[in-house]
Structure 1
Amino acid sequence: MRSICMEYQAIENHFLKLSECFLSFSSEPIKNINRLVALCGELMGATCALYNRLEGDLLCSVGKWNAPSDYSLIDRAEGHICYDVIRYATEDIVFIRHLQNTPYANSDLNVKKYGLQTYIGHAVKFNGKDMGALCVVYQKDFVPTTEEERLMGIIAFAIGVEEERNRTLEVLKKGSEEKSLLLNNMNELVVYQDGTNKIIWANKATADAFNTTSELLEGKICYKAFHNIDEPCKNCPVVRSQETGNIEEKEMFSPDGRVWIIKGMPVRDKANKMRGILEVARDVTEKKKYEKNLNQLNKGLLKSNKKLKRLVIKDPHTGLYNHRYFKEIIETEFYRTKRYNQMLSMIFIDIDYFRSVNDAYGYKFGDLILKQFADRLKKSVRMHDYAVRFGDEEFIIILPGSSKSGALELGQRISNSIKMFVFGRGKNTVRLRVSMAIVSYPEDGMSRSSEFIEIADKILNKAKEFGGDRICTVSDMKDGSFAHDKITTTKHLKQKLAKLTKKSNQSSVESIFAFAKTIELKDHYTGNHVERTVYYANEIAKRLRLPAEDIKLIEQASMLHDLGKIGISEKILLKKGPLTRKEFNKIKNHPKIGVDIIRPIQFFHGLLPLILHHHERWDGKGYPFGLKGSEIPIGARIIAIADVYEALISDRPYRKALPKKEALRIIKENSGKQFDPKIADVLIEVLKKGRD
């Protein structure tokens, strides 16, 4: 638990540094972009960090951190990894390992030049516009955490905001310079009128603005010529200037919706007699639009800063209070409880076997489960209680004013709610069990707030040793519920551990064979098929010189790879004709069903990825997740080809066995498509050796 606390402390420090970076922003967007890039590189421990902007067919490194002195800041975009990230921009990060073995080693010169091994990138865009890519690179193999992925996403979004601000400021600056030049050269809309608003002359810019000529405007009434109306515009500064004899200026809207700054200036002769009015008009429609966008961007930045402040005390994924806030609130609540002679209880919750969910379905699915779990907790607690995410799958509920009996009652309600709820989405669903430790003051006699965690940790460890799925208190430890035989000597301890280990391994191996026989009872083909699949998988693994532990896992997973067929109707399994699409979709569920069956068994956790993915294909067209190439665990790739070959040479309900020569031809034909080509070659060697 201490290591988890340290990990969460690091995550919170990352968000604090990000918040400090936002709050220290200057008025210059490019400087802010460089700060964000540097922060990203530092927090993710990268070799180098860059923000590459796409300008036509060039990539320009606008923001950089720790870049080599000979690194080219401008290069052709084609072939660069960042260019592909921008072209196929998504909301997720792009994560590429082993760069030297990818096509980018040849197309992106920087990969070989600087010995890069890992690339992590995120598209930068704003309001749907693609701008560039933020990336960090490593000269070593590196795998980001989920929190680091979120951190990179936030920084990429912030860079997008600063890029849009930079573009807006450049447009405004350019517009201001151009308007100044036009004014000096009399290229603004300039019209000289007499006292009746008749146009004496108009410059070329005015004529061009209204798609006419200066000659055709002369002698016409201005408001008829420009706006096709029969009386002067309301509050017109030109009319006002005639009335006051002073310079008048006003922002006006023309009927077509454009915005103008119009100035009326009296023209006097030497006797100071007014001879006419000079009207100077500037179209500021675009400037107003960009100013409005800039204001909206600034409001968005302020909103982001407020959100980051909330992240300091809230877990960004679940919305529960985080570990940092727990440390603050526990001290406050414990002090208040002791001072006013009140009660304080806490429920410490640990999700049983949660790591197996991540192993079987991936971390994104695991994140979804944690979010749904947190939602169940929020609905269970009172308004003045605190629900905290303490670690990965560890949660705490602080109950001010609650006794131990009240906490036990709430704990039981939460446990029942969790057991009844189906977690997940669509076809991927799991059920959860939890272990809970109830600790209360003053009943459990602690004198420091830190003792809550110390006591709960001991209770949870004991609960886990006995299988979890239980609610325990200090009294459970005292009354012998967790009692063990007394161990008085080192020799006695070693003998007991050896005995327990041997018994556990023996029971687990027996369980594997029992599961395999269960399948045979339902589908005789599957039972015989399993034994032969185990043989081929074992021979391939040995030829590949895999470690002994991996070979053992492949052998065991081969026994259980079709366990999920227990959940498939016998009518489908034994059907003699072709399967319908609906029937085939049911068959495709059997890897997931098998994983769900054995997931609660700790000993089987190493088998989960091999069983789940043994129907994936090398070309990515398999199921259940469409993994491709080396994304598929090597054990699953081995079982897949052994499974198919054995099926081809066996009688099936819907066809007779194929000759081995024909089966071998099918294997060769699908090498590099359905099967890993290297493993396909090894199977062919095994078969040739068998004939010899």
Structure 2
Amino acid sequence: MKEILFISCKKRVPSSFKTLFKKVSFERLNRIQDSLVIVDYHCLSKYPQFKVNNYPGKVFLLYIDKNNRKPLKCMNKWGFFDYIREEESYYEVLIKIRKANDFMKLKKENKKLKEYIDSLRIEDIQLHCFNWQYFVENIASLIEEVKKRDSSLSLVIFDIDYFRQINETYGWEFANYIIKKVVNIVRNLISPQDKIVRYREDSFVILSPFRSLEEAKKIAERLKQRISQCEFKYKNLSTHIGVSLGIVNTEKDNLHNYREIIIALEEALKNSKLEGGNRITLYRDLLKKTKSPQEKIPDVEKKITDVESLRRRIRYLNREVNQNLLDTVYGFAKAIEIQDLSTAHHVEYVARIAKKIAQELGLSPQQVNDVYHAAILHDLGKIGISPKILLKRGKLNKEEEEVIKTHPWIGAEILREIHALRGAIPAILYHHERWDGTGYPLGLKGEEIPLSARIVALADVYAALTSKRPYRKAFSKKKAIQIIKEKKGKYFDPKIVDIFLKMIKE
């Protein structure tokens, strides 16, 4: 039990309670932290301004003499927890003090709980940074504070480039790992006065009160450099990322409120994105740009007379762009075949089998196309593997096997920023996973493996078994089918094996 304080107008503490109480004055009360305080009723007339609520963290008991006939009225008037009569015995007083002490403990626990709940309201628990609610609640006061001190508030907004593709390609676990690592990089770059605020899923704002525009620019440049140089490794996956950044300063950009700041941040970030990402835009540079009042309309636009013709034009241009991208990437796939003549025509054979299985499964035309593209490009990552390993005769050693295992994510990395091939990437990344969970790169099991990857996996193995390789002769069709049957439910999805076997017979 903590020391109990006693405030009295008399010169002494009641003799029966000397061992319990320590006499103090009202003036000293504010200097003493959480404690149990007993106040003599006769002191209250000298301190009419006294209120229990003015002393948070303390619990008060009222000490009254035997002539006081209205203890409850007095207690409620000033907000005391309980009262102690002069004639009460030592043990009666002790019981009341213990109750008050328990109440004080409960009060402390409630205070801690309230602080924790308040922190949940403004904190991103996963990343241990502030959320947008914190920004909304504090931006106005921050602006006022920097104005009073004749300074300015700088803000740096940054967004992970192509984050949606990373999420869709590698899954939410890898995506969350990247976000956490990025926040840690930022945390190590900034000072305690700067605050990290999560704006959207992969967008953040650094609040830097009392920092100039030049100082904010240096932070942004260091951040961009650190993230560009960092390799993000998770299990057997690895990638590099970039960030787009925008910088605003309340003084230089003449910003006065929440709305103006948000618009400026969004405009600066959008410009960095439009210019290709992985770059920094100062909002003040955008303000300097002057647009011509009458911009010339291209001839193509003049020919567009209605919404439908515009749609047709967009579809045509989109097909042209996608086809050019596909032609380029398929060219890389062919380059791998030329590098390894033993696999010539392998990808076409894999693609035909995979496409047929996808059709037999009743997949949509778009899903069938995704499977077909994935089958064509499933070994694209081997372009990053040394020919000495690819063309080696005989068994690979452990180190060489680990190098070969990197080709799925190399392929996924090459393709992940190509919108037209986004649906094919899961199969490219996971076509070496096995139904029983013994595959790579993540050791996915059963239906955790994307359906397209399960299809390409079987097609790839069958085509490989029936092809000649540097280290072995081609298996017969009968032997290859026997191996596929043996691996049903181990390496391959049983349902896909059944469809494949039915298809082969036909």
Same fold flag (TM > 0.5): yes
Unaligned 5+ segments in structure 2 are 1-106
What is the alpha-carbon distance in structure 1 between the residues aligned to residue 339 and residue 290 of structure 2? 40
Deviation of 1:307 (Å)? 4.6
Preserved contact between residue 540 and residue 683 of structure 1 (Cα < 8 Å): yes
Q: Deviations over 1:179-223 (max 9, x none)?
A: xxxxxxxxxxxxxxxxxxxxxxxxxxxxxxxxxxxxxxxxxxxxx
Preserved contact between residue 462 and residue 482 of structure 1 (Cα < 8 Å): no
2:339 is aligned to 522
* Count of equivalent residues: 394
What is the alpha-carbon distance in structure 2 between the residues aligned to residue 462 and residue 495 of structure 1? 28
Deviation of 1:426 (Å)? 5.4
1:436 is aligned to 245
Return closer, same or farther for 1:310/1:613 CA change in 2, 3 Å cut-off.
same
Q: Deviations over 1:476-495 (max 9, x none)?
A: 44566999974677648557
Q: Deviations over 1:479-538 (max 9, x none)?
A: 669999746776485576345423321222223312212322332334521111111111
Look up the equivalent residue of 1:645 and give its one-letter code. Y
* Aligned with 1:411 (options 220, 237, 244): 220
Higher relative contact order (Cα pairs below 8 Å, separated by 6+ residues) = 2
Return closer, same or farther for 1:378/1:641 CA change in 2, 3 Å cut-off.
same
Preserved contact between residue 154 and residue 247 of structure 2 (Cα < 8 Å): yes
Q: Any residues of structure 2 matched to 1:291-440 within 5 Å, and which?
A: 307-339=116-148, 341-425=150-234, 427-440=236-249
Return closer, same or farther for 1:344/1:493 CA change in 2, 3 Å cut-off.
farther
Preserved contact between residue 512 and residue 559 of structure 1 (Cα < 8 Å): no
Preserved contact between residue 238 and residue 409 of structure 2 (Cα < 8 Å): no
Deviation of 1:306 (Å)? 5.3
Deviates more, 1:577-586 or 1:363-372: 577-586
Deviation of 1:475 (Å)? 4.5
Deviates more, 1:615-624 or 1:338-347: 338-347
Q: Deviations over 1:86-120 (max 9, x none)?
A: xxxxxxxxxxxxxxxxxxxxxxxxxxxxxxxxxxx
SS at match of 1:312: helix
1:575 is aligned to 392
Preserved contact between residue 648 and residue 657 of structure 1 (Cα < 8 Å): yes
SS at match of 2:464: helix
Look up the equivalent residue of 1:313 and give its one-letter code. I
Q: Any residues of structure 2 matched to 1:249-260 within 5 Å, and which?
A: none
Return closer, same or farther for 1:653/1:303 CA change in 2, 3 Å cut-off.
farther
Look up the equivalent residue of 1:311 and give its one-letter code. L
Preserved contact between residue 333 and residue 400 of structure 1 (Cα < 8 Å): yes
2:58 is aligned to none
Deviation of 1:299 (Å)? 10
SS at match of 2:372: helix
What is the alpha-carbon distance in structure 1 between the residues aligned to residue 499 and residue 291 of structure 2? 51
Q: Deviations over 1:595-653 (max 9, x none)?
A: 22222334333222111111111222222222222221111111011001101110011
* Aligned with 1:451 (options 260, 284, 300): 260
Return closer, same or farther for 1:661/1:414 CA change in 2, 3 Å cut-off.
same
* Aligned with 1:595 (options 412, 415, 418): 412
Look up the equivalent residue of 1:366 and give its one-letter code. A
Preserved contact between residue 618 and residue 673 of structure 1 (Cα < 8 Å): yes
* Aligned with 1:676 (options 488, 493, 500): 493
1:152 is aligned to none
Q: Deviations over 1:402-439 (max 9, x none)?
A: 33333223211211111112223454332110111112
* Aligned with 1:461 (options 270, 281, 284): 270
SS at match of 1:450: helix
Deviation of 1:448 (Å)? 2.4
Q: Deviations over 1:123-178 (max 9, x none)?
A: xxxxxxxxxxxxxxxxxxxxxxxxxxxxxxxxxxxxxxxxxxxxxxxxxxxxxxxx
Preserved contact between residue 336 and residue 383 of structure 2 (Cα < 8 Å): yes
Look up the equivalent residue of 2:199 and give its one-letter code. F
**TM-score, normalised with respect to structure 1:** 0.53
* Aligned with 2:438 (options 580, 596, 621): 621
Return closer, same or farther for 1:493/1:474 CA change in 2, 3 Å cut-off.
farther
1:551 is aligned to 368
Look up the equivalent residue of 1:556 and give its one-letter code. H
1:639 is aligned to 456
Unaligned 5+ segments in structure 1 are 1-297
Return closer, same or farther for 1:606/1:466 CA change in 2, 3 Å cut-off.
farther
Return closer, same or farther for 1:467/1:524 CA change in 2, 3 Å cut-off.
farther
Q: CA RMSD in A?
A: 3.0
- Note if 1:630 corresponds to 2:439: no
What is the alpha-carbon distance in structure 2 between the residues aligned to residue 485 and residue 524 of structure 1? 53
Return closer, same or farther for 1:586/1:403 CA change in 2, 3 Å cut-off.
same
What is the alpha-carbon distance in structure 1 between the residues aligned to residue 145 and residue 210 of structure 2? 10
Return closer, same or farther for 1:365/1:440 CA change in 2, 3 Å cut-off.
same
Return closer, same or farther for 1:653/1:415 CA change in 2, 3 Å cut-off.
same
Preserved contact between residue 237 and residue 441 of structure 2 (Cα < 8 Å): no
Deviation of 1:681 (Å)? 1.9
- Note if 1:534 corresponds to 2:351: yes
Return closer, same or farther for 1:312/1:517 CA change in 2, 3 Å cut-off.
same
What is the alpha-carbon distance in structure 2 between the residues aligned to residue 346 and residue 469 of structure 1? 18
What is the alpha-carbon distance in structure 2 between the residues aligned to residue 539 and residue 321 of structure 1? 51
Preserved contact between residue 236 and residue 441 of structure 2 (Cα < 8 Å): no
What is the alpha-carbon distance in structure 2 between the residues aligned to residue 342 and residue 673 of structure 1? 66
Q: Deviations over 1:278-315 (max 9, x none)?
A: xxxxxxxxxxxxxxxxxxxx999997775554333221
Deviates more, 1:574-583 or 1:409-418: 574-583
SS at match of 2:181: helix
SS at match of 2:192: coil
Look up the equivalent residue of 2:263 and give its one-letter code. E
Preserved contact between residue 343 and residue 401 of structure 1 (Cα < 8 Å): yes
**TM-score, normalised with respect to structure 2:** 0.71
Look up the equivalent residue of 1:681 and give its one-letter code. D
What is the alpha-carbon distance in structure 2 between the residues aligned to residue 374 and residue 607 of structure 1? 30
What is the alpha-carbon distance in structure 1 between the residues aligned to residue 496 and residue 211 of structure 2? 61
Look up the equivalent residue of 2:475 and give its one-letter code. L
What is the alpha-carbon distance in structure 1 between the residues aligned to residue 427 and residue 321 of structure 2? 22
What is the alpha-carbon distance in structure 2 between the residues aligned to residue 404 and residue 585 of structure 1? 47
Q: Deviations over 1:539-564 (max 9, x none)?
A: 11112221011011111111111112
Return closer, same or farther for 1:301/1:442 CA change in 2, 3 Å cut-off.
closer
Return closer, same or farther for 1:537/1:369 CA change in 2, 3 Å cut-off.
same
* Aligned with 1:505 (options 322, 329, 332): 322
Return closer, same or farther for 1:527/1:440 CA change in 2, 3 Å cut-off.
farther
1:39 is aligned to none
Q: Deviations over 1:641-675 (max 9, x none)?
A: 10011011100111111111111122222222221
What is the alpha-carbon distance in structure 2 between the residues aligned to residue 480 and residue 603 of structure 1? 34
Return closer, same or farther for 1:507/1:620 CA change in 2, 3 Å cut-off.
same
Return closer, same or farther for 1:481/1:676 CA change in 2, 3 Å cut-off.
farther
Look up the equivalent residue of 1:528 and give its one-letter code. H
Return closer, same or farther for 1:495/1:539 CA change in 2, 3 Å cut-off.
closer
Preserved contact between residue 516 and residue 527 of structure 1 (Cα < 8 Å): no
* Aligned with 1:560 (options 372, 377, 387): 377
Deviation of 1:452 (Å)? 1.3
What is the alpha-carbon distance in structure 1 between the residues aligned to residue 342 and residue 285 of structure 2? 50
Preserved contact between residue 185 and residue 227 of structure 2 (Cα < 8 Å): yes
Deviation of 1:333 (Å)? 1.2
Quick one: percent identity of the two aligned structures? 39
1:64 is aligned to none
